[in-house]
Structure formats: structure tokens, C-alpha cells
Structure 1
Amino acid sequence: MASNKLKINDIARLAGVSATTVSHIFNKRDKKYRISPQTRQRVLSIAEQYSEQAHIRQYLVKANSTDTIGVIVPDISNSFFSMFLHYLEASFRKKNIQLLITCSHYNKDVEIKVAQNLVERKVDAMIVATSLDSDEFYISINQNTPVLFFDRYLKDTRLPFIASESLNSVAELIQPYARQLDEFYFIGCDTQLTSIEARLKGFKQGLKNVGLAVNPQWLVSDNYHPNKGYLLLKGVHEKLGRLPKAIFTPSGNLLQEVLSYLVEVKVKPQDICLCSYDYHIYLDYSYYPIDAIMQDFENMAHTCVNVINDLLNFNELKYNAFFIKPQIIRHR
């Protein structure tokens, strides 16, 4: 060959077939044109020998692609994840790519198992809202199957991730009420997760911005399990002998659980200030006026599609971290 860069004509000559046949195989049209599995395998085997060349790797990825993307979320019933999946599925469907959606149920062992199952199903890439403490497991998967973290990323991770911006938005959310009050409670869970940790930092920053010193007793958190928000608020109520004047919850499911307690003890809307991350349309009709942060699901979904496309085509990412700006919805 006159050049070290292998061309389709070179592969065709080495395989003893036409360049058109090679092109059909690389573009997954071999079945349409009734190219035998033996010929397909011969062409791909030759290409594998030159896979160190970037354009050959791209040919191989496309030829072997399954047009499926694996997605792992901790809780499909969570309104945030269900809304995100709605937009994500629609975005990939436009590209004729199917999602294989799995659920980890906040269980690390389950997450590892479902991730391994997705690899066995030969998904082209994975989008993961992880509950793991390290990226080492996904680094090993990423060697052959690109991995994109979503919402929950890991500190100092080498893998790309997409999340909503939290620090500035949460600070802006609570500041108008923090200026008027002498206390503000954070009712949260799993603050070790980077997404929740960022919302807690934003909460503290909002108090600081208006000159309200953070009282450690206002920061109430625990490991999450269903109804934990209800139990945490009940504990605060019993300890204080009254309810807090203001509450911020860092997720929609915790807000629902807090609301269930408020309804049970028959708190009047004017007697408490509520703010939360994760807006849902039901808040427009809530008995309690609640200011909330609405994440830009559509933008996040489109960003996921674009990043996955770059990863599959071996394009260098301009950024490793993508923070999508949310919107504040006020009801007070």
C-alpha cells in the first residue's frame, strides 16, 4: 500500500471482495444485500488487524453496533428519573436507537449486576445514575463500551458526566425567604452523593448570602429509604415541639414525604415556607405553595445524545463535565 492509512479499497482487495461489499458491511447493510456471514466475518477480521487506525475503529464500531443504549437509574418511579427517561427515549428514538432501561433500586450489588447484563447484551454505550462510591468498575467497562454518568457523578472521575447546576440555583431559590426568617431547615438524604452534596452546598451558600449563619441542627439527613422524609420531619417536630419555619428538600420524593407529614398534622399553608429541588406539575395545584427548581430534562437528554454520539465516533469531548442550568418556579 502506498499509504499507511488503510482504505476501503485496500480491505476489499485483501478480503477478495468489492469495495461496495465492504461498504455495505461497515454500514450494516450486509443482510439487506444478502452478503454471507462468512464474507462479513472475513472483512471484519481484516479490519481488526488495523484497528489502531481511528477511522478503522469507527468502521468496526458501526458494523458491530446494536443500536441500543443501556440506561441504569436507581428508581424508575421517581418523577425526576421518569421525566428524564421520557425525553431521553424520545431523543434516541429519532436516531433509531433503542434504550434498554434497568433499575438498581439504590443497591450497589444490583447495579453492578445489571451493568454486566447490559454489557453481555452488547449495548453500544451506557448512561448511568450510579450509586457506587468509585468509578473503577465503570472504567473497566468503558474500555470497550463508552460510559456516561448522569445526575450522580463521582468526584475526580475520569468519565464524562451530565448534571443539573445546583449551587447557584439552590442559593437563589431560598434567598428571598432566608432574608425574612431566622431559621431554615434542610431535610435530605444521601448527602454523600455528589448531586445531593451540591444542593446542600447551594443551601448553605444561600443562607450565607443573606447573612444567616448556618445552625448545624438545621441540617437533618440520613440514608434514604421510602418514607424517610416523613420520619425525618416527624423527628424534628418532636424535638422542637413545633414545626420548622422553613424547609428545603433536595429531591421530589423527599418533598412528597414531607408533605404527607404536614397534611397529617394539619399545618396551615401560611405557617410554613417550603422550597425544593425537582419541580413537578402537581406543585401548581398543591395546597401548600412550594417554590421549586425545574430541571431542563429536554436539554439534558439532547446533551446525553450528543455526548454518546461523540464517544461512539471517538471524538474528543470539549468538556468532561456538563452542568445544565435549571429554572426556578415560584408559587409564593
Structure 2
Amino acid sequence: MASNKIKINDIARLAGVSATTVSHIFNKRDKKYRISPQTRQKVLSIAQQYSDQPHIRQCIIKANSTDTIGVIVPDMSNMFFSLFLHHLEASFRQKNIQLLITCSHYNRDVEIKVAQNLVERKVDAMIVVTSLDSDQFYVGINEHTPVLFFDRYLKDTTLPFITSEAIKSVSELIEPYAKQLDEFYFIGCDIQLTSIRARLEGFKQGLAKAGLTFKSDWLVSDDYCPNKGYQLLKMVHEKLGRLPRAIFTPSGNLLQEVLSYLVEVKVEPKHICLCSYDYNIHLDYSYYPVDAITQDYQSMAYTCVNVINKLIKFKELKSNAFLIEPQIIRHR
């Protein structure tokens, strides 16, 4: 060959077929033009020998793509994940890519199993809200199927991740109220997760900026399960003999459960200050005013699409961390 760069005509000659046939195979038109599976396999096997050349590797990837992306979330009933999935599905649909959405139910064994199932279905890439403590499992998958972490990420991971900024926004959210109070409780769960730890760090910084010294008793946390926010607030109520003067919850689910307890004990809105991460439009009509941080679902979805597109095409990412700016919505 005159050049080291192999061309479609070269692969066609080596396979004993026409260049048009190779083009149909590379562009997934082989079934439309009734090209036999044997011919397809022969062409791709020859192309694989030259997969070190980027343009050939791209052709192989396109020929083998399933136009599906696997998504793993822990809880589809969680409003945050539901809204995110709504925007994510719409964004990928515009590119004629289908999502295969699975749920881990916060169970690590289930998460590993559903991830393996997605690999067996030959998804082109995976977007994962993980509950694992290490990225080792997904680093292995990433060798053949690109993996993008969403919302939660693992410390020191080399895999790319997308999440909302939390430290600065949470600090700004609570600071004005911390200046007026002598206590502020953090009712949270799963604080070992990086996303929750960032919200806790923002909470502490907001207190410090307001001149309020954080006390360990104000951090009330446990592993998450349904209705845990209700149980944690009830425990604090019984321990103090009164309700806290101010509460921050790091997620919408926990806020909903806290509100459920407040309604049950019939506390007056003026007697408690509520702040939370994860705004929901229902808060606009809540009996209890809640200042909340709303995440930019649309930007997060678009960023996921762009990053996945680059990962599939083996394009280099300038950074593996993508932090999306949220907004504060005040009701007080």
C-alpha cells in the first residue's frame, strides 16, 4: 500500500468485496442491503487488525454500536432521579439513542448484577448513580464499555463524573438564617457518599460564615431507607423535648419525610426554619416555607450526552469532573 493509512478500498480488496459493501457494513446498513453475516464478520475482522488507526476504530465502533445507553439509578421514585431521567431520555432521543434504565434500590449486589446485565446487552455506554465504595468494578467495565458516574462519584476515581456544585450553594443558602439562630440541624443520610459530604461541607461553611460554631449534635444521620427522615427528626424531638429551630436536609426525599413529621406534630411554620437541597415545584405551595437549591436537570442531561458522545468516540476529555451550577429558590 502506498500509505500506512488504510482506506475502505484497502479493506474491501482484502475482504474480496466492493467498497460499497464495506461502507454499508460500517454504517450499519448491512441488513438493509442483505449483506450476509459471514461477509460482515469477515470485513470487521480485517478492520480489527487496523484498529490502532483512529478512523478505522471509529468505523468498527459505529458498526458494532447498539444505539443504547444503560442507566442505573438507586430509586426511580426519587423526584430528583425522575426529573433527571425525563430530561436525559429526551436529550438522547433527539440523537435516536434509546435508554435502558435499571434500578439498584440502594443495594450494592443488585447494582453489580444490573450493571453486568447491561454489559451483556451490549450497551454502548453506561451512566451510573453508584452505591459502591470503590470504582474498581466499573474501571473493569470501562475497559470495553465507557462508564460515566452521575450525581455520586468516588473519591480519587479516574472515571468521569457529573454532579451539581454543592459547597458554595449550600453555604449561601443557609448563611442568612444561621446569622439569626443559635442552632441549625443537619438531618441527613448516607453521609459517606461524596455528593452528601459536599452538601455537609457547604452546611458547615455556611455556619462558619455566619459566626455560628458547628456542634456535632447538630449532625443527625443514618443509612437511608424509606421514612428515615421522619424517624431521625422524631428522635431529635424526643431527645431535646422540642423541635430544632432550623433544619437542613440534603435531599428532597428526606425533606418530604421531615415535613410529614412536622405536619403530624402540628408545629407552626413560624417556629421552624427549613432549608434543603433539591427543590420541587410543590414547595411553592407548602404550608411550611422551604428555601431550596434546584439542580439544573437540563444542563446535566446535555452534559451527559456530550460526555458520553466523546467517550464512545474515544475523544480525550479535558477534565473528568463536571460540576453543574444549581440555583437557590427562597420562599421566606
Confirm or deny a common fold (TM above 0.5).
Answer: yes
**CA distance in 1 between partners of 2:23 and 2:159 (Å):** 32
Aligned-residue Cα RMSD (Å) equals 0.7
Matches of 1:33 and 1:319 in 2, distance apart?
42
Q: What is the alpha-carbon distance in structure 2 between the residues aligned to residue 186 and residue 270 of structure 1? A: 19
Counterpart CA distance in 1 for 2:103 and 2:113 is 11
For 2:225 and 2:158, locate their aligned partners in 1 and report how far apart those are by CA, in whole Å.
Answer: 30
| Corresponding residue for residue 194 of structure 1 | 194
Aligned to 2:99: 99
Map of 2:44 onto structure 1 = 44
Structure-1 separation of matches of 2:60 and 2:153: 30
- Taking structure 2 as the reference length, what is the TM-score of the superposition? 0.99
For residue 4 of structure 1, what is the amino acid of its counterpart?
N
Unaligned runs of 5+ in 1: none
What's 1:6 paired with? 6
TM normalised by structure 1 equals 0.99
Matches within 5 A, 1:1-332: 1-332=1-332
Return the alpha-carbon distance in structure 2 between the equivalents of residues 265 and 87 of structure 1: 37
Deviations 1:151-190 (A, max 9, x none): 0000000100000000000000001100111110000000
Deviation (angstroms), 1:291: 0.4
Partner letter of residue 41 of structure 1? Q
Aligned residues: 332
Please list every run of at least 4 consecutive aligned residues from structure 1 whose deviation after the TM superposition is greater than 2 angstroms.
none
Query: Partner of 1:221: helix, strand, or coil?
Result: strand
Q: Secondary structure at the match of 2:182?
A: coil
The Cα of 1:230 is off from its aligned counterpart by: 0.5
CA–CA separation in structure 1 for the residues paired with 2:313 and 2:169: 34
Shift of 1:38: 1.5
Deviations 1:130-168 (A, max 9, x none): 000000000000000000000000000010000000000
User: Following TM superposition, by how much is the alpha carbon of 1:264 offset from its aligned partner in structure 2, in angstroms?
Assistant: 0.4
Give a deviation string over 1:172-211, Cα, whole Å, max 9, x none.
Answer: 0001100111110000000000000000000000001111
> Mean Cα displacement is larger for which, 54-63 or 184-193?
54-63
1:327 deviation in Å? 0.7
Shift of 1:31: 1.3
Compute the displacement of 1:56 (Å): 1.5
Residues 269-305 of structure 1 deviation map (CA, whole Å, 9 limit, x = unaligned):
1110000000011101100000000000000000000
Identity %: 81
d(CA) in 2 for partners of 1:316, 1:4: 24
Q: Which deviates the most, 32-41 or 295-304?
A: 32-41
2:153 & 2:76 partners in 1: Cα distance? 18
